[in-house]
């Protein structure tokens, strides 16, 4: 089992950054204004959006960023708008008007929506029939 001191030494830069940004403490305060047990608790409960998590589990860290959350929410918004437009058009007998996608930041291209796939092709793709 690895000791807290050796773990902190191995990941000192990430822990120092998280500790400073999340609590206002520095590693140099351990043993004086910050107890070892408090540091142990902080490391064991490291926030998913912190530098330590980015170092240890980059794939998990990417899912916890506000940018990822915002992109997913914008995609959900766009899909719900398309579904709503299709439902509104269904009873009228008219073709659904494509809604405008949720605005994204510059440099982040919105997903391009292609033409609709026939349901028979979709079943083939999903179920292999």
Q: Positive or negative CA dihedral for 67, 70, 76, 79?
A: negative
Residue whose token pair is 């029939």? 129
DSSP 8-state symbol, 24:
S
pLDDT digits (tens, 9 = 90+) for 1-21: 578 889 989 999 999 999 999
pLDDT digits (tens, 9 = 90+) for 77-121: 999 999 999 888 887 878 888 899 999 888 745 455 566 777 777
Is the whole-model pTM more than 0.85?
A: no
The predicted pLDDT at position 116 comes to 73
The predicted pLDDT at position 113 comes to 55
Q: What residue segments make up the domains of the chain, in order of their start?
A: 4-63, 65-104
């Amino acid at each position: 089992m690895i000791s807290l001191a050796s773990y902190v030494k191995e990941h000192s830069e990430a822990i120092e950054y998280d500790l400073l940004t999340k609590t206002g403490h520095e590693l140099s305060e351990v043993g004086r204004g910050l107890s070892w047990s408090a540091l142990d608790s902080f490391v064991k409960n490291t926030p998913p959006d912190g530098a330590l998590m980015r170092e240890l589990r980059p794939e998990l860290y990417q899912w916890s960023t506000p940018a990822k959350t915002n992109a997913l929410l914008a995609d959900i918004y766009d899909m719900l708008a398309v579904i709503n437009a299709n439902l509104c058009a269904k009873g009228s007998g008219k073709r659904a008007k494509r809604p405008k996608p949720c605005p994204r930041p510059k440099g982040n291209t919105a997903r391009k929506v292609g033409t609709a796939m026939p349901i028979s092709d979709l079943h083939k793709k999903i179920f292999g029939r």
